[in-house]
Structure 1
Amino acid sequence: MQYLVIFTPKQKIGSAEMPSDFPQLLRGEEARAKDLYMEGLLRQSWVLGERDHGAAVLFEAESPEHLQEIIASFPLIKADYSNTQVFPLAPDPAFAEKS
C-alpha cells in the first residue's frame, strides 16, 4: 500500500531550539532516504516550498505498522525534530479501467 507522509520541522531551521547536531542529523536523514529508495520503500520525495518547510514523501509499506517502523528510522524523527502527517492512498476510481 502507498502512503503520503508530510514531514514538517518542529522548530524553524536556525532557531535556538534546533538540535546542535542538526547538520549531522540532516546528512543521516538524506542517507536513510537513499537507502529506503534503493529498497523500494521510498518512491518519491518532494521539498515543501523552501527546504526548511519540510518534505512530502511517497512510501510503499506492507501495513500502517510497517510504515511507522520506516518513519521511526529517520534521524530527525529519532531526535524529535519533525512532525508527521500520514495519508493512506488508494487508487482513484475515476481512473480505474471500466469493464
Structure 2
Amino acid sequence: MAWHRLLVGTFAVAFVASGGRLAWAQETPPEDLASQLRLQGHRCDEPVTAQRDAQLSKPDEVVWNLRCGNASYRMRLTPDMAARIEQLN
C-alpha cells in the first residue's frame, strides 16, 4: 500500500509542477523528441520542427511528426513505453 501512495504522490507533484497539464502530451520541443529518437538508435541531425498529429493521436498515445536535418520521423509516444518510431520518406 505504501508504494501506491508514493506513486500517487509522485504523479501529483509532476502534475502540479507541469502547471496542471501533462506536458509530454501537449507540447514537446523538437530537441526532446530528437533525444528520445537517438536513445532508441535512430539518427537525427539538427532537429528542425515537431508537429503533433491530432488525427492520429489518441488519449494515451500522442503522435508527433519530427523533421530533422537528415530525415523525418513519426513518433508514437505512450506513457511508460518506448516510442514507436517510423521513418518517413
Q: TM-score, normalised by structure 2?
A: 0.26
Higher relative contact order (CA 8 A, sep 6+): 1
TM-score normalized by structure 1? 0.24
